[in-house]
Amino acid sequence: MRPKKYLKYLIEPIFNTHRTKEIFNYNPATPPEREEAKSTKIFVYNYDPGSISACELKDVRETFIYRDSDKVSWINIDGIVKATVEEVCQQFEIHPLLVEDILSIGQRPKMDDIEGIMFCQLNMLYFNDNNCAVEQEQISIALGKNFVITFQEDAHRDVFNNIREKLKVPSSRLRTRGADYLCYSLIDMIVDHYFEVIEKLGEKIEALEEEIIRVNNKRSLAKLNALRKEMIVLKRNVGPVRELVNGFIKSESELLDDKINKYYKDAYDHIVQANDVAENYREILASLQDLYINQVNLKMNEVMKVMAIVTCLLAPGSVIGGIFGMNFDVIPYAHQRWGFYITVAVMLIVPVIMLRVFKKRGWF
C-alpha cells in the first residue's frame, strides 16, 4: 500500500472548480482592481538601416526624446504602474480612453485608431506544464509616427526575443522598414506563439484520448473537464484577434504604408489557421466526452451481462433445490441412496449445457 498516492486525492479536489471562476469572473462595468507592479523596466530600441542603439532607462521621462526621433523607436515598458502609463501616454498624446484600456484587466482583444494613434490590445499566451493551464498576459501596443510603445504586465517573460535578435541584423526587414512593420512583427510573433500553446494542448488531448480508451475513470473525466476550460481560454483569446488584424488591413491610416498591407494579410492567414485548429480541438474534446460516456455505458453493459449470465447459470440449481426442498411426504429419490448425487449432477450438467449454448450463440 502507498497511502501518499491516494492521500492527495482526499486533500486536493479532483475537479478544479475554482478555475471556472478565474476564467469567467470579469465584469467590464466595474472598475478594474489591478495590482500595480512593484517595479517598471523600460527598454528602448532606436534604429534605422545604418545604426541601432539599445538601452534600459531608469526614468520614464527619458523616453520623451524619442517622440520626434527621425529613427524608429520601440519603447517596451514591462510592469504596469498607473502613474508611469499616464505620464508616457500624456507625452505621446495617447487618448485617455486608450489609457483606460491599458490599465484595465480582462479586456477582449481589439484594435482602435484614435487621434493619430493606432492601438491594439491582445493577450500573449503561455502553457504552464505544472498545472496544465493556459496562462495569459495582456499586452497593449500603440503605433505612432516613427515609434511603437508596448505595455506588458510581466517583466520576466515575453515572446519577442526573436525580434530583438533580428534588430541586430542590419539587412533584416525590421531595420529597413518603418514602425508599421515593427508593429506587424510584434503582433505576428504573438500569433505564432499561439501555435506552440495549441500544440501543447493537442498533446494533452491525444494523451487523454488514450487514457479514456485504456482506463476511463473519474480522473479521466476531471482531465477532460479541465482541458475544456483551457480550450475556452484559448478560443476566447484567439478568436477576436482575427478582427484585430483585419482592422489593420482595412485601415486607411497614414501610419500604415500600402506595402505593409500584405504582411498583415499573412498574419491574418495565421490567426485564421490558429482559430480553425482551436475549433477542431474543441470538437475533439466534445467527441471525447461522448467517448467517455460510451465507455462507461459499455463497461456497465459488460458488468450487467456477466451478472445476467451468472444469474442464469444459478437458476437451474435454485429451481432444483427449491423443488426437492418442499415439505411433502413423498418426493422422488428423497430416500434413495443415489438421490443426492443425481440431484447435484443435474445441477452441474444443466449450467454446463447452458454455457455451451450461450457461447455458440455468441452471447459472451
- Mean pLDDT for each 10-residue chunk of the chain (364 residues)? 47 57 60 70 90 89 87 91 89 90 87 90 90 89 92 85 89 88 93 92 88 80 85 90 92 88 92 92 86 81 85 85 78 76 85 85 77
pLDDT at 13: 54
Helix (H) or strand (E) holding 53: strand 52-57
Domain with CATH 1.20.58.340 in the chain: 303-360
**Residue whose C-alpha cell is 490567426:** 271
Cα 87 from chain centroid? 35
> pTM here?
0.78
- How confident is the model at residue 68, as a pLDDT? 83
Looking at residue 7, its pLDDT comes to 43
**What pLDDT sits at residue 20?**
66
**Cα 49 to Cα 16: distance, rounded to the nearest angstrom:** 52
What span, in angstroms and rounded, lies between the C-alpha atoms of 43 and 148?
12
The pLDDT of residue 133 is 87
Give the whole-angstrom CA distance, residue 139 versus residue 309: 64
List % helix, strand, coil for the chain (3-state, nearest 5): 60, 15, 25
C-alpha atoms less than 13 angstroms from C-alpha of 187 in its C-beta half-sphere: 38
Domain 3-295 CATH superfamily: CorA soluble domain-like (3.30.460.20)
The pLDDT of residue 25 is: 61
Query: According to the CATH classification, is domain 303-360 in 1.20.58.340?
Result: yes
Going by C-alpha positions, the residue among 355, 257, 259, 285 that lies closest to residue 314 is 355
pLDDT score, position 15: 55
| Residues present in the chain in total | 364
CA torsion angle for 348, 351, 356, 361 (degrees, to 10)?
Answer: 180
* In the chain, ranges of CATH 3.30.460.20 domains: 3-295
Q: Using CA atoms, how far apart are residues 150 and 148, in angstroms rounded to an integer?
A: 7
What pLDDT is recorded for position 9?
44
